[in-house]
A and B are shown apart, each in its own frame.
Chain A
């Protein structure tokens, strides 16, 4: 791993500025809305919940932007695809992990001080465990990061036209599955599937919650997506 560290540093360095701008804009707007509501209603209320959604959008964009320019620069500097891939994954972990810390801390602070503000995690699982909150957010961010990274790799590999067809195909598959649920599957199968999904999200049949399940599920999906990305980038040429 002789040359991995500078590559990870480089990948992170190109993202630090956008992250700063992102948080600045997000909290400025959030604060403005709060102030306006305060002035208009005279209540200490807020206008929105779950700011993590914004971060999800942001990390998805990061995933998209983590290929082309960085790939070129690192190739020019003698990096092989394997190292480029590893450095990108390391960068994803660093960025999603850090952003998850920020969002966990700020989200819980906001929840404490502003009545009615909820984080996504809090709404689903409560506010008891900060560590699991952070871990859960990290794997969710990682999932979106790797999903969009894979998407941009696929688009680069097969070209815009083919990607569009793949996209249309995916929409078709989703529509078919939805109609399968409505008309073909028996209610028993549907409820089994629903139960499986609920379990995977950590809501157990006996009404308790198991947070390791969703973390492992998201991690698993993210891992599969990442492996697919590796399979593609190994065959990617400079164009």
Chain B
């Protein structure tokens, strides 16, 4: 089921093309990773989905209905944003109170519970919180809302390792508890590899990958060995990048991973999501 459909979305800022005729879909009931380098177009895309900015052309459909300026749709989706859109003078507990007025599905007791787990002082004003705790505050709101679609834009910015771990844990608990779709936009790929099921790579305003993590990881592999042997192996294959260490060469290849013993002097290994991402978003073949 295609829950969020992005149809031919383009967006330009003066001369810079932020999104270039982007079309793809997020399916219902999955955890997505929306991965891209800084300035790749992640936030622009999220802001368009969230009705905060307008696309120059194209359309976003949520549950089959155009999301632009549709309040019924925006009751079903929540976008936690990296930018501060909250009133800085209000206390955390006042923000919780307003959230429960704005959304019927906001669970105040859950919010207070998570705040306790994070040791967040709810009597502090938003502006008095450290950067990490501002992120935590925004996460708590998003995790306590039982809306079908929740988008996290750089959710763990400024969080220490323990707090990040707790976030992923809470996220999975929410995911198991209800029929929700989560989209995590981040550049910390390694951390979300096991959390996400589907992955979308966005680069220079275009979607370059949109598939399950598992399928994607099976698509690429790396080959290392002597320069000569690696080069001859690479002939006729789709190469996305090289690394060289003295006489050792590593080639990153798109294609089905061959059986181990095919070439004895070459070492063949799978690639991590992060490596695959880095190689695919760098200049090809460099």
Contact = CB atoms under 8 A, between A and B. Distances in A.
Interface of A: 2-3, 6-7, 9-10, 14, 69, 72-73, 75-83, 234-235, 237-238
Contact of B98 (A6, A82, A238): A6
A184 to B, nearest CB: 44
Given A6-B102, A238-B53, A78 B75 contact: yes
A52 to B, nearest CB: 29
A237 B53 contact: yes
12 contacts: A6-B98, A73-B86, A75-B52, A76-B86, A77-B98, A78-B78, A80-B70, A82-B69, A235-B54, A237-B54, A238-B47, A238-B52
B106 to A, nearest CB: 10
- A contact face: mostly helix, strand, loop, or mixed: helix
A80 B69 contact: yes
Contact of A80 (B47, B51, B81, B86): B51
B85 interface: yes
A77 B71 contact: no
A80 B87 contact: no
Contacts of B87: 14, 69, 73
A2 B74 CA distance: 12
Contact of B81 (A7, A76, A79): A76
Interface string B66-102: 0001110011011101000111000000000011011
B77 A78 contact: yes
Q: 7 shortest A-B CB distances, which residue pairs?
A: A76-B85, A78-B74, A6-B101, A238-B52, A237-B53, A77-B102, A72-B85
A3 B102 contact: yes
A213 B95 CA distance: 45
Nearest to A69: B87
A234 B71 CA distance: 14
A5 B85 CA distance: 20
B4 to A, nearest CB: 15
A77 B51 contact: no
Interface in B81-133: 81, 85-87, 98-99, 101-103
Contacts of A237: 52-54
B102 to A, nearest CB: 4
Nearest to B94: A13
A9 B85 CA distance: 18
Contacts of B85: 72-73, 75-76, 238
Nearest to B80: A76
A52 B86 CA distance: 33
A9 B97 CA distance: 12
Contact of B103 (A10, A77, A80): A77
B86 A75 contact: no
A9 B125 CA distance: 20
Nearest to B70: A80
A143 B175 CA distance: 50
B102 A78 contact: yes
A74 to B, nearest CB: 8
A75 B83 CA distance: 12
Contact of A3 (B69, B71, B77, B98): B71
Contact of B71 (A2, A6, A69, A72): A2
A72 B89 CA distance: 14
Most buried by B among A9, A77, A79, A234: A77
Contacts of A77: 98-99, 102-103
Contacts of B79: 76
Contacts of A82: 69, 71
Nearest to B47: A238
Nearest to A237: B53
